Amino acid sequence: MFTLKSAALAAVIALASAPAFAHATFETSEAIIGKAYKGVLRIPHGCGTQATHTVQLNLPTELVAVKPMPKAGWMLETKVGPYASAFNNHGKEMREGVRQIIWSQGNLADDHYDEFVFAGMIAPDAKAGSIYVPVTQRCANGEQAWTEIPAIGQNAHELKSPAPSIKLVQLAQAQSDTSWKIGDITITAPWTRATPKSAPVAGGFLKVTNNGKESDWLTGGSFTGAGRVEVHEMATIDGVMRMRQLGHGLEIKPGETVELKPGGFHLMFMELKQPTVEGKPVRGALTFRKAGTLEIDYTVAPIGAPAPGNSGGHHHRH
């Protein structure tokens, strides 16, 4: 009875943990075009029964300004070649760089796991979609090649030894993909704007979805560097559009998504003690009457931007 139970449990554990470490993969499988990327390559095992002594990466053209991290017990070698197109890296034109990384003379036993690291960036002119980094492990009597690339329309999961992949996304897409959850509440793409020095307030914008069966209310929260946070609406008072505080909070009805945006409902960060800086996310928190409080990160758009990732020149007083 006991044996049977542990055997069943062992089978469940094996099933649950096997797929994640079956292949060579990157710890971070998504990267933003034109931004820094740290590649942590996870090597799940040697070659069948033999230890791996060499790990080689061939970098696709989208990965540029790459610097590999030396690894204790391994020799590090790189091959430099021209880029598909030159690009501007902080004012410096770059035409060539590392195209291949080889860690050798190491020892990764078949029943061990190891990680191989490099820092780099995604070329600014790269296209959204998946890229593949072919990897070869060499062992005493052979090799394990992670070099298969799916054909168009083919699922990578069907491949026997797929090359590790990285999904490239545009910054705006990455921002709109980011969401936070607490209870039945989901927050998507929170953003604010850069503020001029000594501006006393800033506006906060986001989408909030209630997946529950009852209403909940956004009542406020906190924002790094602000004295307090208020929930505001726009209303016509004496024929003039003005904003005013929603004392009882903003109701989010079950199944509804409410967008806080310039010209509509919004958060007000009051008594700002420091300006918000474009591109530098700011930590904040939102409080819901039922769901409670959750921490989120606001992306910071340029001064006066009408939308995140948009550098429109109008200065809205929101």
Provide the binding-site residues for Cu ion, judged by CB under 5 A. 232, 243, 268
For the chain, the 3-state helix, strand and coil shares in percent, each to the nearest 5, are 10, 50, 40
* Beta carbon of residue 264, minimum distance to Cu ion (angstroms, whole number): 10
Residue 206 vs 268, nearer CB to Cu ion: 268
How far apart, in Å, do the first and last CA atoms of the chain sit? Answer: 69
Compute the distance between CA of residue 47 and CA of residue 252 in angstroms, rounded to an integer. Answer: 55
Residue 163 vs 231, nearer CB to Cu ion: 231
Three-state secondary structure string covering 28-54: CCEEECCCEEEEEEEECCCECCECEEE
Count other Cβ atoms within 10 Å, centred on residue 274. Answer: 12
Residue 244 vs 283, nearer CB to Cu ion: 244
Residue 268 vs 300, nearer CB to Cu ion: 268
* Beta carbon of residue 243, minimum distance to Cu ion (angstroms, whole number): 4
Residue 55 vs 231, nearer CB to Cu ion: 231
* Beta carbon of residue 318, minimum distance to Cu ion (angstroms, whole number): 6
* Beta carbon of residue 237, minimum distance to Cu ion (angstroms, whole number): 13
DSSP 8-state code for residue 128: S
Residue carrying the six token digits 């726009």: 234
CB-count exposure of residue 236 (10 Å: 0-12, 13-18, 19+): exposed
* Beta carbon of residue 305, minimum distance to Cu ion (angstroms, whole number): 16
Residue 30 vs 233, nearer CB to Cu ion: 233
Distance of CA 49 to CAs 33, 42, 142, 187, Å? 39, 18, 11, 48
* Beta carbon of residue 267, minimum distance to Cu ion (angstroms, whole number): 8
> Which residue's Cβ lies closest to Cu ion?
232
